[in-house]
Structure 1
């Protein structure tokens, strides 16, 4: 059931929003393409089954990351703080955002993962191999989805989107979030060892529900998210309702990012989402692959998305410029607005990479 935002009346469209569509990738390609386009337009998020990523690859990455988070806090902190990559605890970004989690943030390329693994694992060779196998598998899945989108949008070049991700200079990121459980009894906090909760000022809108990772949209093109069987993820529907996404370890959750919104000239909308703090009796583990172009890739609405009746909404920008904007703002800020044609030119200027 969705949680209604303040001062928002229910309407008939709300019924459509109470749920996230699931798409079976083993179906006829034209059907899958059509369903993905519809999901990106109406929800900005969808679940996928029969995705082709093996259970072995998934179980190995889950085991390695759980092993890392089970280490004593002092050992984990040797791998941080994230600047921007490495181990982080509670602090999200550089502007005061906090969450009830700890995480690993890695560049999604083999050489960087190999280097970072030295500080993350007692067996860095195994750790880097496991991470790189997972990243390679979900990168391929991301490219398949983008090719299906290109077909559904009738783009002349069917690889125009996936080529942005396949670029050897892709700035893709791999993130693992770990949400330890806590006791929600009034005035009683009982976090797992080495994980101290924040005080009540970080509660969600003053109620008893704590936010584990605050409201935001992802700046990249697509996010491929996989979690274990512990819930917490919520997406904000176009009607302003927070809709829980039931956990299913056999599925992946695909989220439209800000850059995809710009590429489609707002035909697709990046989905705002959050994760509630974990009140389950076991940890929540979620893994995100952020499909991203190279730093110098130019982003502007695709020609197919523009016409005499549908002018381009965004100024051309590089991923480097947009990434700078993302790091310069708070988590919940709508960074894409900085690049709209009607945005106030006297606003804060984004520095170059």
Structure 2
């Protein structure tokens, strides 16, 4: 198992494989079936023709880069990450580190409004408007995808999944990750050590699965994201080619539990392997703290007996913060 590290990647298998692409302009029945298939096989897919305005995306990118371009002293006023706020290198509370700086925000408008004054002192109201517009677009996109998952799975309540993140008390988050460019001397040293610079790259954000229901990610045109996939030779890391016009969707631990293990919570990581900085903007669709997570009845059959105990998001969240980044959190709730 790989956890966050500053060491070179080493001899791991890295292979280019085709990543599922979902076109939301397809006939809905086809798109729903393809989404479920992608979640079963990869736990990950790329979304095109999603309908999200490029202006909404570029506005948040601009605000993010304005913030990350500030001096270290100014940025630290938006921290420390406890767990929300501005952080550098440290990931969580158990010693994991990465090659990045980040801003983690709750999507509740009152939180955004309060935090904006330490993030964008020149115009906090504009920052609030930009973030809230982006969060609204991500919430709608994530909800639509989850409703299509419900349809593809044949759930009696097609909105059973989307209800969690549409709830007014949802605990959803927005994370802005900034991976700074590797310095020239470091890049040259890496290149001199191997013909394959990817294999000598440093881990920017270590291997993990996302704990929430669904993750919707957008990044600039700098590569770095890798997902862990199966192959006849064993697990392989699959580099994801960046597409700054698309969104990438990842299934989380709660989606896996809610579907009785049928849909994957994909393990992934981000590499700091470029001479240009990488910005990723990540929406985590999350239920309210009191929401009880149990598999939908349609996913439990004699052939697929129940795999996980019931738990609340608050219980899972507490356990999450007590574990290392690379740990499998669902193992705590697996029925023996």
- Work out whether the TM-score is over 0.5: yes
Indicate the residue corresponding to 1:73 in structure 2.
72
Indicate the residue corresponding to 1:29 in structure 2.
28
The answer (yes or no) to whether the contact 1:19–1:245 under 8 Å persists in 2 is no
1:208 matched to 2:200:
yes
1:336 matched to 2:330:
yes
Indicate the residue corresponding to 2:195 in structure 1.
none
The Cα shift of 1:93 comes to 0.4
Cα distance in structure 2, aligned partners of 1:154 and 1:131: 34
How many residues get paired? 316
1:68-147 correspondence to structure 2 within 5 Å: 68-121=67-120, 122-147=122-147
Aligned counterpart for 2:270 among listed residues 272, 275, 282: 275
Aligned counterpart for 2:281 among listed residues 269, 275, 287: 287
Indicate the residue corresponding to 2:216 in structure 1.
224
Indicate the residue corresponding to 2:152 in structure 1.
152
The answer (yes or no) to whether the contact 1:278–1:284 under 8 Å persists in 2 is no
1:174-189 correspondence to structure 2 within 5 Å: 174-183=174-183, 185=185
Q: Which runs of 5+ in 1 are unaligned?
A: 190-206, 343-353
Indicate the residue corresponding to 1:164 in structure 2.
164
Cα distance in structure 2, aligned partners of 1:125 and 1:7: 46
The Cα shift of 1:279 comes to 1.9
CA 1:88/1:166 → structure 2, altered by over 3 Å: closer, same or farther? Answer: same
Indicate the residue corresponding to 1:48 in structure 2.
47
Normalising by structure 1, report the TM-score: 0.86
CA RMSD of aligned residues (A): 2.0
The answer (yes or no) to whether the contact 1:183–1:279 under 8 Å persists in 2 is no
CA 1:116/1:300 → structure 2, altered by over 3 Å: closer, same or farther? Answer: same
The Cα shift of 1:238 comes to 2.4
What CA deviation, in whole Å up to 9, does each residue of 1:118-147 have, x standing for no partner?
100021000011000000000000000011
The Cα shift of 1:248 comes to 0.6
CA 1:182/1:6 → structure 2, altered by over 3 Å: closer, same or farther? Answer: closer
The answer (yes or no) to whether the contact 1:234–1:245 under 8 Å persists in 2 is yes
Cα distance in structure 2, aligned partners of 1:251 and 1:212: 22
Instruction: Report the 3-state secondary structure (helix = DSSP H, G, I; strand = E; otherwise coil) of the residue aligned with 2:105.
Output: strand
Cα distance in structure 1, aligned partners of 2:287 and 2:10: 34
Cα distance in structure 2, aligned partners of 1:187 and 1:120: 31
Higher RCO (Cα < 8 Å, 6 or more apart): 2
1:250 matched to 2:245:
yes
The answer (yes or no) to whether the contact 1:57–1:134 under 8 Å persists in 2 is yes
CA 1:299/1:7 → structure 2, altered by over 3 Å: closer, same or farther? Answer: same
CA 1:186/1:48 → structure 2, altered by over 3 Å: closer, same or farther? Answer: closer
The Cα shift of 1:209 comes to 1.7
The answer (yes or no) to whether the contact 1:5–1:241 under 8 Å persists in 2 is no
1:321 matched to 2:312:
no
Cα distance in structure 2, aligned partners of 1:50 and 1:309: 37
The answer (yes or no) to whether the contact 1:5–1:242 under 8 Å persists in 2 is no
Cα distance in structure 1, aligned partners of 2:107 and 2:186: 41
Cα distance in structure 1, aligned partners of 2:238 and 2:49: 24
Cα distance in structure 1, aligned partners of 2:62 and 2:43: 30
The answer (yes or no) to whether the contact 2:107–2:172 under 8 Å persists in 1 is yes
The answer (yes or no) to whether the contact 2:12–2:236 under 8 Å persists in 1 is no
CA 1:58/1:340 → structure 2, altered by over 3 Å: closer, same or farther? Answer: same
The Cα shift of 1:309 comes to 2.5
Instruction: Report the 3-state secondary structure (helix = DSSP H, G, I; strand = E; otherwise coil) of the residue aligned with 2:320.
Output: helix
